[in-house]
Amino acid sequence: MAWQYVLFYKPYGVLSQFTDRQETSHPTLKEFIPIPDIYPVGRLDRDSEGLLLLTSHGKLQHQLCNPKFGHPRTYWVQVERIPDADALKKLERGVTIRNYRTRPAQVALLSAPPPLSPRIPPIRFRKQIPTAWLTMTLHEGRNRQVRRMTAAVGFPTLRLVRIAIAHLQFDGLQPGQWRHLSSTEIKTLQSLTRLPHL
């Protein structure tokens, strides 16, 4: 049987799993992806959006989830207020969150909001408090890391959208949509992980 590789645009409020083990009544991946025996590579929190890679290839899933692998993950991050150069430098160099120092990251302030579908429900709006968008690329994936990083430098995250996992990108996907990886994308995964016969 051929391995399955699926890229999914997880909407806000959806759990990154196929069953709701705690019976919270939140939607799960099962409501969007009708493919058996595939599992997420990593996860996105319920209140985060964006790309999720799923596969039936257990060794690939294990390797990509291993912190030693350190493949890049890129996010668009809407924060409260407008970060100054000092805050951006701190995020780039790494910040301490929960007794852990984050690895260096690539961080930039976007000049305009990115082309995203409106979030449902929308983020909270405060007339007196401006917001800004950042692009952040991390090489690690600790629990709620982006949110904790921006909070640590004084700019809480309002909306978080993962737009790339290594070389994998949206390519026209809308929230709730999924697609199979192309043969080229699978070959690039193979070269990144050095796993034969993906």
% pLDDT > 70, the chain: 95
User: Count of residues for the chain?
Assistant: 198
Q: Which of 134, 84, 83 is nearest to 107 (CA)?
A: 134
Q: What is the mean pLDDT of residues 98-123?
A: 92
**pLDDT per position as a tens digit, 125-183:** 788 899 999 999 998 878 899 999 999 999 999 999 999 999 999 888 999 999 999 99
- Determine how β-strand 157-165 pairs with β-strand 49-55: parallel
* Euclidean distance between CA atoms 158 and 88, whole angstroms: 17
**pLDDT per position as a tens digit, 70-101:** 789 999 999 999 999 999 999 999 999 988 89
**97: three-class secondary structure by DSSP:** strand
Burial class (CB within 10 angstroms; exposed 0-12, middle 13-18, buried 19+) of 94: middle
For the ranges 50-54, 120-124, 129-133, 162-166, the lowest mean pLDDT is seen at 120-124
- DSSP state at residue 189: H
Would you place residue 197 in the very low, low, confident or very high pLDDT band (cuts 50, 70, 90)?
A: low
Q: Is pLDDT above 60 for 1?
A: no
Q: What is the mean pLDDT of residues 2-21?
A: 92
* Euclidean distance between CA atoms 73 and 68, whole angstroms: 14
**187: three-class secondary structure by DSSP:** helix
**DSSP per-residue codes, 1-68:** ----EEEEEEPTT--SSSS-TT------GGGT---TT-EESS---TT-EEEEEEES-HHHHHHHHSTT
* Euclidean distance between CA atoms 94 and 91, whole angstroms: 5
* Euclidean distance between CA atoms 10 and 15, whole angstroms: 8
Q: Is pLDDT above 70 for 67?
A: no
Domains of the chain: 5-67+167-193 (3.30.70.580), 73-164 (3.30.70.1560)
Q: Which residues are catalytically annotated?
A: 45
Q: What pLDDT is stored for residue 106 in this prediction?
A: 97
CB atoms within 10 A of CB 164: 17
Residue 96: C-alpha distances to residues 23, 34, 50, 152, 197 (Å):
34, 40, 26, 8, 40
Report the mean per-residue pLDDT for the chain.
90
